[in-house]
Amino acid sequence: MQFIKPKNNNADKVDWLISEQVREIVKNYAEYCEYSESEVVDMFLKNLLKDEGFLKWIDGIRHNKRMLRKMGLEEFMEGEKLG
């Protein structure tokens, strides 16, 4: 069971350039899911933490505790291996 988590209150506005196609995909997917566009992007990008190559790369630099904390990977600061 997945428990409902509070929305991210530490949200910052970002200045990214994305294609018109991607904006349209996010807009329509958000409408389909009944989430805001920001929520869709937030949820989707968190899936990057399931990329095994990315996790191995992170494991190689896990001495960067602040980076791990910001990415929600605190458990790996305590010596667990990623992946």
Instruction: Say if residue 44 is in the same domain as residue 68.
Output: no
Residue 83 sits in the same domain as residue 61:
yes
The pLDDT, as a whole number, for residue 57 is: 84
Instruction: Let me know whether 28 and 39 are in one domain.
Output: yes
Rounded to whole angstroms, how far apart are CA atoms 68 and 56?
13
CA distance 58 to 73: 10
- Closest to 19 (Cα-Cα) out of 11, 29, 27: 27
**57 and 76 housed in the same domain:** yes
User: What is the dihedral sign for C-alpha 68, 66, 80, 58?
Assistant: positive
Nearest to 40 by CA among 54, 50, 28: 28
Number of domain units in the chain: 2
Summarize pLDDT for 50-61 with one digit per residue, the tens. 999 988 888 777
Residue 81 confidence (pLDDT) above 60: no
| 2 within some domain | no
Q: Span 8-14, mean pLDDT? A: 79
**Tell me, what's the pLDDT at 21?**
95
User: Domain range holding 60?
Assistant: 51-83
Q: What angle do CA 47, 64, 66 make, to 5 degrees?
A: 75
Query: What's this model's pTM, rounded to 2 decimal places?
Result: 0.67
70 and 60 in a common domain? yes
